[in-house]
Amino acid sequence: MSARARLLGLLLLACAALGTLAPAGATAQTGPLAFSSCSQKQLVFPAAGVQCGTLTVPFDRADPALGEIALAVQRVPASAQRVGVLVLLAGGPGQPALPILEEFLAPLAREPALRGYELVALDQRGTGQSQGVQCLQAAGSLKGGLPQYLGACGAALGPTRAFYSSQESVEDVDALRAALGGTPLSLFAVSYGGRVAGMYAREHPQGVARMVLDSPVPLTGTDVLDRERLRALPRVLDEGICGAGACRSFSGNVYGDLTRVVARLHGHPLRTKIYNAHGRLRSTSVTESELFDLLLALDVDPGVRELAPAAISAAAHGDAAQLARLAHSLREEAPTSGLTTPLASLAVEAPESDSQISLGLLAATYCAETELPWSSASAPAGRPAALQSFLASLPAGATAPFAPTTIASISGLAICEDWPATPPAPPAPTGISATPTLLVSGDDDLRTPYEQDLTIAAGYSDLQLLRVPGVGHSAVSTDLTGCALRAMIGFLTGGAVPASCAASGEPQALPLPPASLSRVRPLRGDRPLVGRVAAAVALTLEDFYGQVGSSGGGLRGGYWALANSNVRLHDFTDVQGVEISGSITAKGVGHFTVAGRLRGTLEQKGLTVTGHLGGARVHLHLVVT
């Protein structure tokens, strides 16, 4: 990810619309879907050419008298003779698709090969602008933690919570196809959207022309304890993130280091001190669940991917400061993602409105469709005993290197523990789909790992599998080489698709900045001190771009924080004797002063930093993937 993209991610604030159930007697969609210009309120990311419409469908198809639900739809019309319709299905469950269309899909309308395609997205029922499920009535339950909050949310939804199943979304997609003229759809489905797309292809095979499944969830759903993720972890760490010798300078076996750290955490937390968001040194700790929470971010946050391996190795050798700083940042970060498996720790401060995910919708779908230690129709009072019995029945090492109780506390089990009794959702269809399908798999994806994708691939008789190195979850939009995107466009238009993409060549993992300036390897130059300070500046800025949240401390002093539309650094220090202050805009332009062993002024544009240190001219290139 570019430095500019990191900053845009830090600075961006978006909001979702609140919807309600349409009254009984409202008219369901019977004719073509009408589109018009979008209002400012309807656009999260202003994008050229986007039009808005509303698709009205029965809330309960078995009982139309219950009322209808209005589904928000956006499109970019074809700019040439219409040859197809490409529909985006987002992840979660609970993630809206419209912001993704505006930010990512709409610009693809300029691609010559896609000008004949109508690009469409709908927020699936209960998400985003499709009458998004928001549990305002449950706000008072936040202090009781995630299970109590979602239990109150489910109770507030009442019997309607049973009508947010994947099966209903499948029928909504078919209603969309009919309203768009009946043309067979091409589907671009990401994460949980891949489950909906796979079901649709089996139940309405004549309604789909082609599918691109990016990081798809299996039709049967994910394992409640994320054991596929745990099995893939050694490969992702030591062959993926640490591939091509990226971790050689600090570890020969990062997964081995991880197992040693987890073994220590079984007994008690790791205690250390870190600099907080005010630049003050404070005591903190890292627990086993917080470490697993950190690992969950490896496949969606390139910054965590860069910094976590060295932090884990340092903690294995007695220095837990970097690991604690990363864990603390994730702990303080507001909930902004909802890909595949819910994280219990993210929901205890659930927002009233969240453009990224509806936690209530996530629970309504997940708790009715996932194989849990209890029936979804059972009373919540009996679930703790069922969970205890389930964990006791696991074979030794089933969740290694973590304890089963740790995995359970962060898994979807916490989402469903207090969710009210709800009839189970219909089982997903089985069988082999003949729909031409491209499956895109990121090598560093832990939510839907490559090993799992091989099993999914067996369910398609006409499938091509594209493996993308150096990329985590949602590979098409995060592969900076553009290979996955080109393959998707080529597949949709009948072109050739490679079996794999080439690696970017940039290291994914970065070493921990040395504490002492004397241990920094100097850049080439006539003056060793200038070379060391310049190298320390580069290490510090690279470390900064790996941070998450909206503020935090330096590794060895100072702090950074958002200020209006800029990020400001205040004596930010990773290497003793090199203090950086200044600001960076969302466009990736930075102006800094350097203090300590040498003084200087520097300017950053993108990944290039130039200026003067100790009177000498310097030119730096940052390594930020």
How confident is the prediction for the chain on average, in pLDDT?
88
| Confidence check: pLDDT of 269 > 50 | yes
Q: Residue 549 is part of which domain span?
A: 517-621
Q: Average pLDDT in the 580-587 region?
A: 92
Identify whether 240 is part of a domain: no
What tens digit of pLDDT does each residue of 18-54 get? 233 444 444 556 568 999 999 989 999 889 999 999 9
In a domain, 152, yes or no: no
Let me know if residue 414 belongs to a domain: no
For residue 429, being part of any structural domain is answered with no
Give mean pLDDT, residues 560-576: 93
Any domain includes 124: no
**pTM here?**
0.89
Number of domains in the chain: 1
Q: Is residue 270 part of a domain?
A: no
For residue 530, what are its two tokens? 């200038």
What's the CA gap between 427 and 264, in Å, rounded?
A: 42
Q: What is the rounded distance in angstroms from the CA atom of residue 451 to the CA atom of residue 456?
A: 9
The answer to whether residue 242 sits within a structural domain is no
| DSSP structure class, residue 102 | I
Task: Look at residue 348 in the predicted model and tell me its pLDDT.
Answer: 32
Amino acid at 360: G
pLDDT recorded at residue 624? 67
Residue 577 domain flag: yes
pLDDT tens, 487-499? 999 999 988 899 8
Amino acid 479: pLDDT:
94
Reading phi first (left if > 0) and then psi (alpha if -120 to 50, else beta), residue 357 is in beta
Task: Label the pairing between strands 437-442 and 208-214.
Answer: parallel
Helix (H) / strand (E) element for 454: namely: helix 450-457
* Banded model confidence at residue 251, pLDDT cuts 50, 70, 90: very high
CA distance 93 to 284: 34
CA distance 22 to 43: 22
